[in-house]
Amino acid sequence: MSKITLGRALNEGLRKSMEDDAKVVIMGEDVGKLGGVFRITDGLQKDFGEDRVIDTPLAESGIVGTAIGLAMRGFRPVCEIQFDGFVFPAFDQITTQLAKLHYRSRGKVPMPVTIRIPCGGGIGAVEHHSESPEAYFCHTPGLKVVACSNPVDAYFMIQQAISSDDPVIFFEPKRRYWEKAELDPAATPVPLHSAQVLRPGRDVTVLAYGPTVKTVLDAANADDVPDIEVIDLRTLSPLDMDTVVASVRRTGRCVVVHEAPNTLGLGAEIAARITEEAFYSLEAPVLRVTGFDTPYVPARLEEHYLPDLDRVLDAVDRTLAY
Amino acid sequence: MGMQRDGAEDAVIAYFGDGASSQGDVNEAFVFAAAYNSPVVFFCQNNQWAISEPTERQSRIPLYRRASGFGFPGIRVDGNDVLACLAVTRKALEDARTGQGPTLIEAFTYRMGAHTTSDDPTRYRLASDLEAWKLKDPLERMKSFLYKQQLADRSFFSDLEEESDQLARELRRNVRAMPDPEPLELFADVYVDTPPPLQQQRDRFGEYLDSFVDGAEAR
């Protein structure tokens, strides 16, 4: 079995979905001849044609609006938003139309649309290219939100998202596009809306998703650290609280890690849910290691903004000190 | 774009107003329709007023002329002339179906009433305008045309009026007779596949409602 990068795994997953279902179309800026700025759609237009891999005008609202029309017509559009910060022009189409059409039509108009968003920082990019907007979408009923963290999940989750009859916002950790892992395409995939325990541990549960999963695994695997249980959330809406709560009941301690700003981020929701569901198991308050409540910082400062191994371990130490 | 991919000889018509013409999404729709030569007709009903905002607040040029900047034909039609609207729409749809791309139709008319019950048009427009437009009532014009052409007689119109009133009465009665939905229906159809957390909210709310001694009244 050969190793494959996360970016390549997405490409292979998209290819598989397009082969399996002729109604799957890809659309976005530069997705055709160029293969996307991160080359995630590399070669797909050549093999599936311009009608199925559609280069679009530079108008995100139009991209999502058009995808909604295509979905009404029975297609399964996969939109690429080129960078996280570019999703905001499409925010109205996503929250007002895409998320609500099934509800508004009393179940008559499903919206099997996948919106792929490369997210997060760490690549030294300019403004608008390093954001983590997941909380907005998790706060929107009607949407499902997932984040992949490794090549194996990337390959299977993108296919599961595309085959979902509900709209899925699909976050891709852009600084992990070049991470490699062995992929067995014949393996049985983990269900899309399940969290996964990546590393069992006794002392503290640390939750992460997308780009911070590797950070947390590195922290857990460092020398002379407590025995950390690492959970990759994978699904952000709905959250898989069963897996999280089962873990916290065992460890009694929890740290949530994400790049997005602290206030009203995923960490806040998770902390509230753990308090509701596992209060008597808690030995310490749920702690958060997150980006700060600032706009995404200039590239020269992002190493301070992004949660790193030391900040994760600092929070682990603090929760153990209770 | 879906029709194009299906190879269907069909077209879409999208209706909107003069106010909506200022929205970014309408302009993005024009960009996409032009870029893909989509079989779509944009039908703008310009009644000159977006609540209290006049068309001058939306555009420096007549709205139909915006189409040329996007690279497809725009046409203004007397929106109070039923037959003209029909002819223009047919032509635009035919063009769309035969691969000639989008058309913007601006049907120029006037909003006779208030926008809503909270609106007060006397604050922003002249009573004389309203009087002038009353004379152009499209229904009256169509009626006199049919009558003069001897395509319909008086009894046709009186029967039609009675039928319309009857239909309206029935509609109102049936709407009023519709039962209120069950409270738990508010959770229906948020998703095709309801996620466990939402199911849990539904179950707990159901238990809460059931906790009232007089369950029927609480619901």
Would you tell me which residues 28-47 of chain B have a C-beta closer than 8 angstroms to some C-beta of chain A? 28-29, 31-32, 35
**Residue of chain B with shortest Cα separation from A141:** B190
Residues of chain A in contact with residue B2, where contact means CB-CB under 8 angstroms, are 69-70, 72-75
* Residue B191 contacts A, CB cutoff 8 Å: yes
The per-residue DSSP string of A223-285 comes to TT---EEEEE--EEETB-HHHHHHHHHHHS-EEEE-SS-STTSHHHHHHHHHHHHHGGG-SS-
Residues B63-77 have pLDDT tens digits of: 999 999 999 999 999
At B142, the amino acid letter reads: M
Residues A69-125 have pLDDT tens digits of: 999 999 999 999 999 999 999 999 999 999 999 999 999 999 999 999 999 999 999
Residues A153-194 have pLDDT tens digits of: 999 999 999 999 999 999 999 999 999 999 999 999 999 999
Chain mean pLDDT for chain A: 97
Rounded Cα distance between A23 and A31, Å, is: 17
**Residue of chain B with shortest Cα separation from A71:** B2
Residues 6+ apart with CB under 8 A from B1: A54, A66, A69, A70, B32, B36, B38
Q: Do A93 and B190 touch (CB under 8 A)?
A: no
- Tokens representing B217? 């009244």
Residues of chain B in contact with residue A165, where contact means CB-CB under 8 angstroms, are 192-193
Residue A256 has pLDDT above 90, yes or no: yes
Long-range contact list for B166-174, CB < 8 A, 24+ apart?
Answer: none
Position B120 scores a pLDDT of: 93
Q: Do A66 and B3 touch (CB under 8 A)?
A: no
Q: Is the peptide bond before B138 cis (omega within 30 degrees of 0)?
A: no
**Residue of chain A with shortest Cα separation from B195:** A238
**Residue of chain B with shortest Cα separation from A92:** B25
Residues of chain B in contact with residue A54, where contact means CB-CB under 8 angstroms, are 1
| B217 band by pLDDT with thresholds 50, 70 and 90 | low
- Tokens representing A15? 């290819």
* Residue A298 contacts B, CB cutoff 8 Å: no
Rounded Cα distance between A10 and A16, Å, is: 10
This complex has an ipTM of 0.92
* Residue B2 contacts A, CB cutoff 8 Å: yes
Mean pLDDT of all residues in B14-32: 97
Position B219 scores a pLDDT of: 46
Could you give the percent of chain A with pLDDT greater than 90?
A: 99
Question: Edge to edge, what strands does the sheet with A204-208 contain?
Answer: A196-199, A228-232, A204-208, A254-257, A287-289
* Residue B7 contacts A, CB cutoff 8 Å: no
Rounded Cα distance between A90 and B179, Å, is: 37
Residue B215 has pLDDT above 60, yes or no: no
Which among A29, A64, A66, A274 is the top mutation candidate for probing chain B, defined by the most B β-carbons within 10 Å of its own β-carbon? A66
Residues A265-320 have pLDDT tens digits of: 999 999 999 999 999 999 999 999 999 999 999 999 999 999 999 999 999 999 99
Residue A223: count other Cβ atoms within 10 Å of its Cβ: 4
Rounded Cα distance between A124 and A122, Å, is: 6
Residue B213 has pLDDT above 90, yes or no: no
Residues 6+ apart with CB under 8 A from A134: A119, A145, A147, A169, A171, A210, A236, A258, A260, A266
Rounded Cα distance between A232 and A243, Å, is: 10
Position A2 scores a pLDDT of: 83
Residue A62 has pLDDT above 50, yes or no: yes
Catalogue the active-site residues of A: 129
Of B32, B191, B198, the CB nearest to A62: B32
Supply φ then ψ for residue A23, to 5 degrees.
Answer: -85, -5
Say if residue A272 is exposed, middle or buried (CB neighbours under 10 Å; 0-12, 13-18, 19+). exposed
Contact A113, A71 (CB under 8 A): yes
Q: Do A164 and B193 touch (CB under 8 A)?
A: yes
Rounded Cα distance between A129 and A120, Å, is: 8
